[in-house]
Amino acid sequence: MAVVSTPATLERAVPVMDNAEVLRIRNDFPVLNQLVNGQPLVYLDSGATSQNPVSVIEAEQEFYEQRNAAVHRGAHHLAVEATEVFEDARQTIADFIGADYEETIWTSNATEGLNLLSYALSNAGLWAAQGRGDQRLRELAPGPGDEIVVTEMEHHANLIPWQELAFRTGATLRYIPIGDDGNLRMDQAGGIIGPRTKVLAFTHASNVLGIINPVKELAALGHAAGALVVLDACQSAPHLPLNVKALDVDFAVFSGHKMLAPTGIGVLHGRQELLDILPPFLTGGSMITTVTMERAEYLPAPQRFEAGTQRISQAVALAAAANYLTETGLDRIHAWEAGLGQRMVAGLESIPGIRVLGPAAGKERIGLAAFDVEGVHAHDVGQFLDSRGIAVRVGHHCAQPLHRRLGLTATTRASAYLYNTTDDVDRFLEAVAGVRAYFRA
The Cα–Cα gap between 380 and 438 comes to 11
Q: What pLDDT does residue 14 have?
A: 59
Q: Do 142 and 233 share a structural domain?
A: yes
In this structure, the strands spanning 411-415 and 296-298 are unpaired
Q: Which residues are catalytic?
A: 398
Which of 326, 359, 381 terminates a domain? The answer is 326
| pLDDT confidence bin for 75, thresholds 50/70/90 | confident
3-state secondary structure the chain: CCEECCCCCCCCCEECCCHHHHHHHHCCCHHHCCEECCEECEECECCCCCCCCHHHHHHHHHHHHHCCCCCCCCCCHHHHHHHHHHHHHHHHHHHHCCCCHHHEEEECCHHHHHHHHHHHHHHHHHHHHCCCCCCHHHHHCCCCCCEEEEECCCCHHHCHHHHHHHHHHCCEEEEECECCCCCECHHHHHHHCCCCEEEEEEECECCCCCCECCHHHHHHHHHHCCCEEEEECCCCCCCCCCCHHHHCCCEEEEEHHHCCCCCCCEEEEECHHHHCCCCCCCCCCCCEEEECCCCEEECCCCHHHCCCCCCHHHHHHHHHHHHHHHHHCHHHHHHHHHHHHHHHHHHHHCCCCEEECCCCCCCCCCCEEEEEECCECHHHHHHHHHCCCEECEEECCCCHHHHHHCCCCCEEEEECCCCCCHHHHHHHHHHHCCHHHHCCC
Q: What pLDDT does residue 440 have?
A: 92
Q: What is the DSSP string of 66-90?
A: HT-S-SSS--SHHHHHHHHHHHHHH
Q: Do 343 and 261 share a structural domain?
A: no
**Which residues form the domain of 373?**
3-52+329-438
Q: What is the DSSP string of 365-427?
A: --SEEEEEETTB-HHHHHHHHHTTTEE-EEE-TT-HHHHHHTT-S-EEEEE--TT--HHHHHH
| pLDDT confidence bin for 314, thresholds 50/70/90 | very high
| pLDDT confidence bin for 2, thresholds 50/70/90 | very low
- The values of phi and psi at residue 338, to 5°, are -60, -40
The Cα–Cα gap between 158 and 148 comes to 12
| pLDDT confidence bin for 8, thresholds 50/70/90 | very low
* 424 found inside a domain: yes
Q: Do 288 and 256 share a structural domain?
A: yes
Q: Do 350 and 222 share a structural domain?
A: no
What is the DSSP secondary structure assignment for residue 158, as one 8-state letter? G
Q: What pLDDT does residue 137 have?
A: 86
Higher pLDDT, 12 or 144: 144
Q: What pLDDT does residue 11 have?
A: 42
Give the pLDDT mean for 370-388: 98
The Cα–Cα gap between 56 and 272 comes to 29
Q: Do 71 and 14 share a structural domain?
A: no
3-state secondary structure of 248: coil
* 57 found inside a domain: no
Question: Using an 8 Å Cβ cutoff, are 149 and 176 in contact?
Answer: yes
Q: How many domains are there within the chain? A: 2
How confident is the model over 96-106, as pLDDT tens digits?
999 999 999 99
- The CATH code of the domain that includes 40 is 3.90.1150.10
Q: Do 279 and 148 share a structural domain?
A: yes
| pLDDT confidence bin for 1, thresholds 50/70/90 | very low
Question: Using an 8 Å Cβ cutoff, are 328 and 11 in contact?
Answer: no
* 254 found inside a domain: yes
Give the pLDDT mean for 147-176: 98
Q: Do 223 and 107 share a structural domain?
A: yes
Give the pLDDT mean for 42-70: 97
| pLDDT confidence bin for 15, thresholds 50/70/90 | confident
The Cα–Cα gap between 175 and 150 comes to 5
Q: Do 322 and 333 share a structural domain?
A: no
Which of 326, 344, 363 terminates a domain? The answer is 326
* 22 found inside a domain: yes
**Which of 124-133, 149-158, 198-207 has the least mean pLDDT?**
124-133
In this structure, the strands spanning 266-270 and 251-255 are antiparallel
- The CATH code of the domain that includes 162 is 3.40.640.10
Q: Do 269 and 128 share a structural domain?
A: yes
Q: What pLDDT does residue 138 have?
A: 84
What is the DSSP secondary structure assignment for residue 358, as one 8-state letter? S
3-state secondary structure of 216: helix
Q: Do 194 and 79 share a structural domain?
A: yes
How confident is the model over 208-258, as pLDDT tens digits?
999 999 999 999 999 999 999 999 999 999 999 999 999 999 999 999 999
Q: Do 292 and 379 share a structural domain?
A: no
The Cα–Cα gap between 99 and 175 comes to 28
The Cα–Cα gap between 379 and 4 comes to 37
Give the pLDDT mean for 382-404: 98
Q: Do 84 and 48 share a structural domain?
A: no
The Cα–Cα gap between 99 and 333 comes to 21
* 61 found inside a domain: no
* 62 found inside a domain: no
Which of 299, 326, 353 terminates a domain? The answer is 326
* 73 found inside a domain: yes
* 243 found inside a domain: yes
What does the chain come to in residues? 441
pTM recorded for the entire structure: 0.95
Give the pLDDT mean for 12-25: 86
The Cα–Cα gap between 184 and 178 comes to 4
Give the pLDDT mean for 313-331: 98
